[in-house]
Structure 1
């Protein structure tokens, strides 16, 4: 294989605020890059790093790709992330085992049921 999954790039109006928010959610370290972006470094085995890139345009439609997180305790994690500033989002999912939330800039993500 010649490709290695290295980063997920996330467009944001306020890269520092959004990266800090996700840093609190995930517990990953955030650092400014030489290019003026913000990098969240994934711990070993946690997947690719996240790179926050500044953009001027607004998010106006549902994400075409989103993150799914599997917690040990779904209710506790939903409550914790809501307390950090996430909000519930209805994207037409109906009554499912996962909870759809949005980060402070409106990017949807799901907290799945625990295994």
Structure 2
């Protein structure tokens, strides 16, 4: 039987037309810290020595279609967290949902992410 390689999840790369601004937005939204920054890139992490991180890098083109991968977050209070993220500059990706237990939002560059409701027992 083959054993899986010992991999450590280092980071996720986020393409951006303005990586420093978007990285700072996500740092504020997540309560993470900036661990590396230059004029073109920024890396944020939950804590300076804790992985994985998010590395925002420049690309010339803007987002053109739906993300194939997006994060889901489960806060203690979905309604309050959605309001907080909207106040930071997130936008709703869709109308208010009645059957679903999540809210899909867009970051300032249009990348989707979901804010989940409470778990059902």
Q: What's the TM-score bracket when you normalise by the shorter of the two chains?
A: 0.7 to 0.9
Partner of 1:19: 23
Please tell me whether Structure 1 or Structure 2 has the larger radius of gyration of its CA atoms. 2
Partner of 1:110: 114
- More RCO (CA 8 Å, sep 6+): 1
What are structure 1's unaligned runs of at least 5 residues? none
Correspondence 1:66-85 to 2 at 5 A:
66-85=70-89
- Deviation at residue 95 of structure 1 after TM alignment: 3.5
Aligned residues: 112
Alignment RMSD: 2.2
- Deviation at residue 47 of structure 1 after TM alignment: 5.3
Correspondence 1:1-115 to 2 at 5 A:
1-30=5-34, 31-32=36-37, 36-43=40-47, 48-90=52-94, 95-115=99-119
Work out whether residues 15 and 58 of structure 2, in 8 Å CA contact, stay in contact via their aligned partners in 1: yes
- Deviation at residue 29 of structure 1 after TM alignment: 1.0
- Deviation at residue 39 of structure 1 after TM alignment: 0.4
Work out whether residues 42 and 50 of structure 1, in 8 Å CA contact, stay in contact via their aligned partners in 2: no
- Deviation at residue 43 of structure 1 after TM alignment: 2.7
SS of 2:68 mapped into structure 1: coil
Separation in 1 of the partners of 2:53 and 2:59? 19
**TM-score of the two chains, using structure 1 as the length reference:** 0.87
- Structure 1 runs, 4 residues or longer, greater than 2 Å off: none
**TM-score of the two chains, using structure 2 as the length reference:** 0.83
